[in-house]
Amino acid sequence: MDHLLEVEGVRKAFPGVLALDDVSLNVRAGTVHAVMGENGAGKSTLMNIIAGQITPDAGRIAVRGRVAMIHQELSLMPPMTVAENIFLGREPLTRIGFIDDRALVQQTSALLGALHVDIHASDLVSHLTIAQQQMVEIARAVSYDAQVLIMDEPT
């Protein structure tokens, strides 16, 4: 496979709506693609199919590596910290199985620094602006070290 992502002949129908019909897309490493269209054109449906969150009715999807997706709607836990949100379910653990808070903050700080994001790992998400919360969503997706990163209108 020459491409990180190959989408061929994808079709998806919902009751009363044909969302996608014979959609194909190829993505090579190091490239950026924009999928554009009117509301209801099937852009988010296609992105969710590529990310494995929706099953297509027909067609083929081949992905080399991991896919991470940043959804249009925020999916953060406001009472938790930035670090807890970024690594939720993937927290570093101590030898006895407890969450290693120090390592969690260090990993988050390094990630935010690499992305040039001026947010602290220990900040509560509920205290952040919407723009800062979107940056946390982006940082979370980047933390998966995915080969394909999908952004569904992260504005």
* pLDDT at position 72: 81
Express each pLDDT in 68-109 by its tens digit: 999 888 899 999 999 999 999 999 999 999 999 999 999 999
Residue identified by tokens 């494995």 is 52
Express each pLDDT in 103-153 by its tens digit: 999 999 999 999 999 999 999 999 999 999 999 999 999 999 999 999 988
* pLDDT at position 68: 93
* pLDDT at position 155: 66
Q: Taking the domains of the chain in order of start, what are their residue ranges?
A: 5-64, 72-145
**Distance in angstroms (rounded) separating the CA atoms of residues 142 and 145:** 6
Express each pLDDT in 21-63 by its tens digit: 999 999 999 999 999 999 889 999 999 999 999 999 999 999 9
Please tell me whether residue 83 adopts helix, strand or coil conformation. Answer: helix
Please tell me whether residue 61 adopts helix, strand or coil conformation. Answer: strand
* pLDDT at position 1: 54
**Distance in angstroms (rounded) separating the CA atoms of residues 80 and 122:** 9
**Predicted TM-score of the model (pTM):** 0.83
13 sits in which H/E element: strand 5-14
